[in-house]
């Protein structure tokens, strides 16, 4: 009876070793898969950082004021040129509504253009009177476009602003 018991224990031990070996093999396989996924993710993150750096370099390298707002019109990003153009300090534009930067008389017109363009999902370009932090106004050539999600719904708005006050003054003098 002891011999039968020992044989039974040895057989159970061999079965357990086979199961442990199979599980170890499967864990090694899963571990390799995870390591490959981690490596792929690191490469993707590196590409994303490079792309973001290029994007920021481009936006900060332009003399145009650049603003990005959420779809409701609240500013989420701006470049240095926008700060200079609008006479704001770092951080002061974040969270402001873009209509706050439009001359009061222009707001109804801008609101109409914005909502019509948003509904149609089309970009727009307008010459508008904008308002600086100190409440002085200036003419700007505004180009706006909607960034859409995977379903084609607008989620962000990019705005490029160029001061055209001198151009407008010259036009006025020649009339």
pLDDT digits (tens, 9 = 90+) for 66-112: 999 999 999 999 999 999 999 999 999 999 999 999 999 999 999 99
Q: Name the nearest CA neighbour of 69 among 58, 78, 82.
A: 78
Is pTM beyond 0.85 here? Answer: no
The 10s digit of each residue's pLDDT in 137-147 is 999 999 999 99
Strand order of the β-sheet with 124-131 is 75-78, 65-70, 154-163, 137-148, 124-131
158's torsion region: left (phi>0), alpha (psi -120 to 50) or beta?
beta
3-class DSSP assignment, residue 133: coil
């Amino acid at each position: 009876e002891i011999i039968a018991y020992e044989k039974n224990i040895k057989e159970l031990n061999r079965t357990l070793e086979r199961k442990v070996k199979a599980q170890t093999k499967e864990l090694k396989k899963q571990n390799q898969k995870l390591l490959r996924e981690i490596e792929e993710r690191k490469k993707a993150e590196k590409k994303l950082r490079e792309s973001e750096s290029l994007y920021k370099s481009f936006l900060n390298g332009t003399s145009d004021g650049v603003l990005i707002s959420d779809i409701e019109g609240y500013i989420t990003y701006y470049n240095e040129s926008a700060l200079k153009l609008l006479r704001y300090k770092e951080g002061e534009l974040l969270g402001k509504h873009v209509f706050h930067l439009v001359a009061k008389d222009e707001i109804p017109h801008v609101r109409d253009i914005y909502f019509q363009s948003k509904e149609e999902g089309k970009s727009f370009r307008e010459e508008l009177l904008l308002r600086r932090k100190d409440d002085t106004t200036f003419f700007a050539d505004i180009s706006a476009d909607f960034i859409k999600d995977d379903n084609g719904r607008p989620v962000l708005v990019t705005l490029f602003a160029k001061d055209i006050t001198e151009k407008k003054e010259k036009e006025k003098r020649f009339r």
